[in-house]
Amino acid sequence: MKRKVIFIIVVGLFVAFTAKLTAQQVHDISVDAGSPLFEIQPVMWGVFFEDINFAADGGVYGELVKNRSFEFTHPMTGWEQVRQNAIGRVVPTFYSPANHNNPHYVVVHADAAKGAFGISNQGFRGMGIRKDNLYNLSVNARISSGSGIRMKAELISSDGTVIGTSEILDLTRDWKKHEATMTSSATDPSAKLQLLFMGLGSVDLDMVSLFPADTWKGRPGGLRKDLVQMIADLKPGFLRFPGGCIVEGRNLENRYQWKLTTGPVEERKLITNRWNSEMRNRPAPDYFQSFGLGFYEYFLMAEDMGAEPLPILNCGMSCQFNAGEVVPLNELQPYIQDALDLIEFANGPVTSKWGALRASMGHPESFNLRYLGVGNEQWEQQYIERYRLFEKEIRLKYPEIKIVSGSGPYASGAYFDLAWTELRKLDPALIDEHYYMAPEWFLNNAGRYDNYDRSGIKVFAGEYAAHGKEGPAPESRNTWLSALTEAAFMTGLERNADVVHMASYAPLLAHVDAWQWRPDLIWFDNLNVIGTPNYYVQKLFSTHRGTHVIPALKDGDPLTGQDSLYVSAVTDKASSMIYVKIVNVSGETKQLRLNFSGASLQKDAEMETLKARGLYDYNSIANPKNIYPFTRPVTVSGKKLQLGIEASSVNVLKLSVRK
């Protein structure tokens, strides 16, 4: 017993002693608000949108019907026959001369003097339907034989209950767009749409479409509100679209062609989404691009969010990880013309050919396009040779456009070095760098840009994410560890904002039941959307962007991992705020004493913190706020502030400058 008491006392003393030692390790950091080092671009923190993981069709694009125009490789994908005490046949048919881009339709032969026969659509892994919400249905239809046939639309819940209904009685012998509305009596993440026919005869059907009435900005046929809001909440400086590898295509035929994504939606020609079969372990044979979310809609989305549009165009090369097709240099002109025409589409007067198209779609005003990317993730001389030709012609006609070039898929190595060497001889405004690396890489690279040429081409950190441990749950790769290490790295991007002008995490969105790639910034299902810890890290930086970088130094050096601490500081001239980002990647609390100069500070300040219980914790649809920022007040004493920075935490200290 006596020995036990002595042991407890010794352990107690040891704990007290080490706690005291830890408390004594105070890091003195000087923050000089009076010496702004350089400006931070308003576009610094943006978003990378690619139609991967069902981000567009089945995601942001509000359409609930999958394969609405029967153009998938198998025209009945997503559709099933429905027999209600009646029989019939459904015949996919080719070719509707009325629409060359969308030639398929189906003929429904109904033998339903009693009962009903029809088809149902399963949506994108089900349809997310909400109680008391209004849904807009539209169907192109004509009676091809028989008469007196009636059509009824129904929303069916996953247990087979009718939760919404509407009748279309005026079917005619000519093609006509029929519209109806339905209000749902229940919420269901996996509902179906059913079109039923009563009577004897045949009806031709095309473009069967169902949208929630409540879309982003209330636009008919618009975007899913909760998803766009989640992106908009980041206050992104730019919106990069449409990718990603989707720009390149698996082969050239499969490349993204912006012109095919404009004009009336029913005339936009659908293509296979390249992520349909890209990932052998995650096949998605029902993944196509309807282009309902096309270039016009991307520009609108950027404008709505106050983000600069940053379209990326194919440079005459398909994905080098796939077919690697390359357009001969003497046949590249149509590709370059696409780029010139896109600038006219975005900015040209309504009297110009492409400006007139923009106006006809509802936006006579310019979209003020200032950035344009040429090529996504290309490498070797093949890219440089093609990039050079694009640059020459864009410069000649539109010298004001900032051209974004690329350094390939890797963060270093031969392709990367060759791209930088060759592009330095040319005149891009920015070079896009990609890094999908282990969490440790992000910790070790917080100083990556410290030695970049300050007067050279600027960097667009266009795709990055820490790729680490993963578990069976889709969201499980978005661990706290990945977010924490990205935050540490991002202090380096911010500290070097004179070199790094733009940055975006990638990819942006993923459907939990239909993903191909992870981790991703935002996960969603048919009714819910959640921010990952990585999302909240991005948000902490992008919503506390500031206007100028200011020095935050320990013993004259920036903190790039010394004693597991990463620090960067900015001032916001417009709001007279100072934001200090402090990342502690160690497993213990660190004591910091911040010594401010160059500004007198208000006593009352705040600190917003993001942390988790464990490094492998993550947010999920079931537990969306497992890792979520919280704010606490802190008090500045004169020009000093002593803070305990919690273990494994990301923090933004917010200080008001006295005017």
The residues of the shown chain that bind ligand AHR, judged by CB under 6 A, are 50, 52, 243-245, 376-377, 409, 463, 506-507, 517
CB of 518 to ligand AHR, least distance (A): 10
Match 């600027």 to its residue by tokens. Answer: 458
Consecutive H or E run containing 285: none
Nearer Cβ to ligand AHR, position 118 or 519?
519
Nearer Cβ to ligand AHR, position 343 or 506?
506
* Rounded Cα–Cα distance for residues 408 and 11 (Å): 55
Beta strands in 548-629 (DSSP E): 548-550, 552-554, 557-558, 565-572, 577-584, 590-597, 604-611
- In DSSP terms, 191 is beta-bridged to 127
Nearer Cβ to ligand AHR, position 117 or 505?
505
Nearest Cα neighbor of 202 from 91, 99, 68, 85 is 91
Nearer Cβ to ligand AHR, position 243 or 551?
243
Nearer Cβ to ligand AHR, position 70 or 505?
505
CB of 449 to ligand AHR, least distance (A): 21
* Rounded Cα–Cα distance for residues 439 and 461 (Å): 16
DSSP state of 335: H
- b/e code 205-240 from CB counts within 10 Å (16+ = b): bbbbbbbbeebbeeeeebbbbebbebbbebebbbbb
Nearest Cα neighbor of 24 from 646, 609, 642 is 642
CB of 47 to ligand AHR, least distance (A): 12
CB of 464 to ligand AHR, least distance (A): 10
CB of 289 to ligand AHR, least distance (A): 14
Nearer Cβ to ligand AHR, position 192 or 434?
434
CB of 505 to ligand AHR, least distance (A): 9
Cβ proximity of 103 and 95 under 8 Å: yes
* Rounded Cα–Cα distance for residues 294 and 268 (Å): 9
CB of 337 to ligand AHR, least distance (A): 24
Nearer Cβ to ligand AHR, position 191 or 430?
430
Nearer Cβ to ligand AHR, position 146 or 324?
324
CB of 438 to ligand AHR, least distance (A): 16
Cβ proximity of 628 and 536 under 8 Å: yes
* SS3 label, residue 343: helix
- What one-letter code names the amino acid at 489? F
Cα 153 to chain center, whole Å?
Answer: 33
Consecutive H or E run containing 13: helix 2-24
Q: What angle do CA 622, 464, 372 make, to 5 degrees?
A: 115
Nearer Cβ to ligand AHR, position 292 or 409?
409
On the 0-12 / 13-18 / 19+ scale of CB atoms within 10 A, 29 is: buried
DSSP state of 397: H
Cis-peptide, bond into residue 242, ω within 30° of zero: yes
Active site residues: 377
Cβ proximity of 140 and 176 under 8 Å: yes
CB of 432 to ligand AHR, least distance (A): 9
Indicate the residue whose CB is closest to ligand AHR: 244
CB of 262 to ligand AHR, least distance (A): 22
Instruction: Tell me how crowded residue 167 is: count the other CB atoms within 10 A of its CB.
Output: 13
Nearer Cβ to ligand AHR, position 188 or 463?
463
Q: How many CA atoms lie within 13 A of 603 on its CB side?
A: 1
Residue 488 sits at φ, ψ, to 5 deg, of: -60, -45
Q: Are strands 79-84 and 458-466 parallel, antiparallel or unpaired?
A: unpaired
Match 């003195």 to its residue by tokens. Answer: 28
Nearer Cβ to ligand AHR, position 236 or 243?
243
- Provide CB contacts within 8 A for 125, sequence distance 6+: 54, 58, 190, 511, 513, 514, 525, 526
Nearest Cα neighbor of 64 from 151, 190, 150 is 190
Q: How many CA atoms lie within 13 A of 626 on its CB side?
A: 22
Cβ proximity of 585 and 646 under 8 Å: no
CB of 275 to ligand AHR, least distance (A): 8
